[in-house]
Amino acid sequence: MIQKENRIGEVVAQNFHTAKVFESLGLDFCCGGKKSIAEACKERGIDPEFVVSEVSKVETSNGAAAHFEKWEADFLADYIVNNHHSYVNNSISTIEHHLAKVIDAHGLKHPELAKIDENFFLLKEELLNHMAKEEKMLFPYIKKLNIAYKNTLEMSAAPFGSVLNPIKVMEDEHTEAGRLMGEINKLTNTYSPPADACGTFKVLYAELKEFEQDLHMHIHLENNILFPKAAELEKKMNKIYSTL
Ligand SMILES: [Fe+2]
């Protein structure tokens, strides 16, 4: 039973279909997932009871929803890389190509396009750097933690100390990526192409909208499910080895 005191990230972790409701109302479920429904609604002047009732409808109508929170940390880390990291890697060049084409044809009449381009470039740099750190350092460590816990194996100390340290850095980077995506959302008037938009212009806005939806789910899976699982695994491991 969902209540307004529940954290948004936890509600979406229970059923990812509820993300659509939060997204449609402009309530942040990924970087802002630690806020309760009531807190987030207060900031945006929305009635929390309305949100609870909308989210509850989704809850009862999607019995077969994927429950990411039940997946083990190593499986979830692989899913994020194979699904979300590869989506980012594959879609960037297409979006850049369409951006260049649209700026060429409509840049003078639509100066917002140059700003969208600037923000997308910063977002790309931020994400590529960030995902490389996760794939090379944090995710392999989380996978090791999961295996060690399941098989009661001792682990050597990580160079970064507690897993909470890289997690904090990754969460800060998610906030920055979310901010840049939010700028693009504003500049595109939430991906509404202008009346004079050509076909490529419309495709570009649809691609950016999809990129945002994917990014929100991607950050949500890490901030609200994978990272808490990793912190919990580390806590359990510390408990086992402090009592041996
Ligand atoms: Fe990430």
Query: 107-164, pLDDT tens digit by residue?
Result: 999 999 999 999 999 999 999 999 999 999 999 999 999 999 999 888 888 889 999 9
- Name every residue whose Cβ is closer than 8 Å to that of residue 12 and which is 6 or more positions away in sequence: 18, 19, 22, 29, 33, 220, 224
Whole-number pLDDT of residue 12 = 85
Answer for the pair 95, 207: CB distance below 8 angstroms, yes or no. Answer: yes
Answer for the pair 29, 217: CB distance below 8 angstroms, yes or no. Answer: no
Answer for the pair 44, 23: CB distance below 8 angstroms, yes or no. Answer: no
CA of 177 to the centre of ligand 1 (A): 9
Whole-prediction pTM: 0.84
CA of 128 to the centre of ligand 1 (A): 10
CA distances 214 to 44, 74, 111, 127, 240, Å, are 23, 20, 26, 13, 37
CA of 106 to the centre of ligand 1 (A): 34
CA of 211 to the centre of ligand 1 (A): 14
CA of 132 to the centre of ligand 1 (A): 9
Mean pLDDT along residues 193-205: 93
Query: How many C-beta neighbours within 10 Å does residue 222 have?
Result: 24
Answer for the pair 181, 215: CB distance below 8 angstroms, yes or no. Answer: yes
CA of 134 to the centre of ligand 1 (A): 7
The phi and psi torsions of 36 (rounded to 5 degrees) equal: -75, 165
CA of 175 to the centre of ligand 1 (A): 10
CA of 215 to the centre of ligand 1 (A): 9
DSSP tag of 17? G
Q: Which residue reads 């297409």 in tokens? A: 94
pLDDT digits (tens, 9 = 90+) for 6-60: 999 988 888 878 888 898 898 888 888 899 999 999 999 999 999 999 998 886 6
Whole-number pLDDT of residue 243 = 56
CA of 107 to the centre of ligand 1 (A): 32
Q: Which residue reads 């570009």 in tokens? A: 204
CA of 19 to the centre of ligand 1 (A): 18
pLDDT averaged over every residue in the chain: 92
Which residue, 72, 62, 75, is CA-closest to 15? 62
CA of 227 to the centre of ligand 1 (A): 10
- Name every residue whose Cβ is closer than 8 Å to that of residue 9 and which is 6 or more positions away in sequence: 29, 30, 33, 34, 220, 223, 224
**3-state SS track over 62-78:** CCCCCCHHHCCHHHHHH
CA of 144 to the centre of ligand 1 (A): 18
pLDDT digits (tens, 9 = 90+) for 81-107: 999 999 999 999 999 999 999 999 999
Residue length of the chain: 244
Distance in angstroms (rounded) separating the CA atoms of residues 127 and 23 = 21
Task: Find residue 36's DSSP bridge partners.
Answer: 7
The phi and psi torsions of 162 (rounded to 5 degrees) equal: -70, 150
pLDDT digits (tens, 9 = 90+) for 151-173: 988 888 888 999 999 999 999 99
